[in-house]
Amino acid sequence: MKKKNLIFVGAPGSGKGTISGMLLKEVTLAHISTGDILRDEIKRGTPLGVQASEIMKSGGLVSDDIVVGMVRERLAKDDCKNGFILDGFPRTVNQAELLGKVLADLGMELDAVIFFNVPDQVLLERLTSRLTCKACGAVFNKLSMKPQVEGVCDKCQGELIQRADDSLETATNRLKVFYAQTQAVIDYYRASGKMIELNNLTSEQSMDVLKKELF
């Protein structure tokens, strides 16, 4: 198995989480989703969770210091030595620059940055029809990836809900935030020559490209 240190970047709903899940069935990498870590903090009612909750409900970004601190802690854990996927981080150029320092401190290097490029129309359709397991975070879709039993997670039998930030209003705002803040991260990494662009591919096509280019 080849060790890879990867970043997945793309708008909300672009397939970062879905492809992470598919890839992790075939290769062993640490999956670091800042959104998942923050939702877990909210569920546990920690001070950080309380602070992040309102921001996430509005579709805005949690402060760079908080998320970089979370990622720094997570990357220092043993399992990351065998490679990792950073899913949904960095989302600002400042986060990307700070990540560069964290990686240098840990003696780590990025192998590739995967950009999930998907048109807005498709993103909004996906986000507003998305269903998420309250217990394990698995993602389904009312239209395209229905669970076997309505409202129930195939993986853990947990309850499927619409994430608070997947309402049309908040999803629209998250897309705006993506263009205002995260678009520049793509240009930042494009200059590094490590970027692989997946231009509106199906999940199967995306998997084929990643396996061919990386593993």
74 is catalytic: no
Residue selected from 88, 132, 175, 189 as contacting ligand ADP according to rule CB under 6 A: 88
Residues between 101 and 120 that touch ligand ADP (CB under 6 A):
none
Look up 126 and say whether it is catalytic: no
91, 101, 126, 142: the active-site residue: 91
Strands (E), the chain: 5-10, 30-33, 84-87, 112-117, 130-133, 139-141, 160-161, 195-199
**Closer residue to ligand ADP, CB minimum distance, 3 or 21:** 21
- Cα angle 187, 193, 194 (rounded to 5 degrees) comes to 95
20 lies in the site for ligand ADP, by CB under 6 A: no
Q: Look at phi and psi of residue 15 and say left if phi exceeds 0, alpha if psi is from -120 to 50, else beta.
A: left
Would the CA dihedral through 27, 13, 210, 77 be positive or negative?
negative
Give the integer Cα–Cα distance in Å for 41 and 158: 19
101 binds, among Zn ion, ligand ADP, none (CB under 5 to 8 A by kind): none
x-marked contacts with ligand ADP along 52-71 as a string, rule CB under 6 A: ---xx--xxxx----x----
The CB-nearest residue to ligand ADP is: 35
**Shortest Å, Cβ 150 to ligand ADP:** 23
Q: Find out whether 158 and 147 touch, Cβ atoms under 8 Å.
A: no
* DSSP summary character for residue 10: E
Binding mask 123-162 for ligand ADP (x = CB under 6 A): ----------------------------------------
Q: Up-side HSE of residue 94: CA atoms within 13 Å toward CB?
A: 9
Q: Which is nearer to ligand ADP, 2 or 74 (CB)?
A: 74
Return phi, psi of residue 31, to 5°. -100, 115
Give the residues lining the site for ligand ADP (CB under 6 A).
12-13, 34-35, 38, 55-56, 59-62, 67, 88-91, 95, 165, 174
Question: What is the set of active-site residues?
Answer: 16, 91, 130, 163, 174
